[in-house]
């Protein structure tokens, strides 16, 4: 029963953590556009997650998108300013 629930959570497109994890996996293998799509979705689902904002900043850096990268890093800092 626990395994079935885990699989359901993994398949759930509305699960921010799953979207973020998939995005970070894409980042690791160099699929930056796909990584950005997944982590943008994660951030839209759970905008208060600092890790998602930081992850977007990393991806935008790889894509040479300086302004969006800076905005994502600033959003991450704003969530946890200490």
What letter does residue 31 receive in the DSSP assignment? Answer: -
User: pLDDT truncated to tens, each residue of the chain (82 aa)?
Assistant: 454 555 455 556 778 999 999 999 999 999 999 999 999 999 999 999 999 999 999 999 999 999 999 999 999 999 987 6
Interval 36-55: pLDDT, tens: 999 999 999 999 999 999 99
Helices 32-45/16-28 angle, 10° precision: 160
């Amino acid at each position: 029963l626990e395994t079935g629930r885990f699989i359901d959570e993994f398949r759930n497109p509305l699960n921010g953590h799953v979207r973020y994890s998939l995005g970070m996996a894409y980042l690791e293998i160099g699929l930056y556009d796909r990584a950005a799509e997944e982590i943008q979705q994660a951030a839209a689902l759970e905008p208060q997650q600092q890790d998602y904002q930081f992850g977007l900043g990393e991806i935008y850096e790889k894509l040479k998108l300086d302004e969006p990268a800076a905005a994502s890093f600033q959003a991450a800092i704003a969530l946890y300013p200490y």
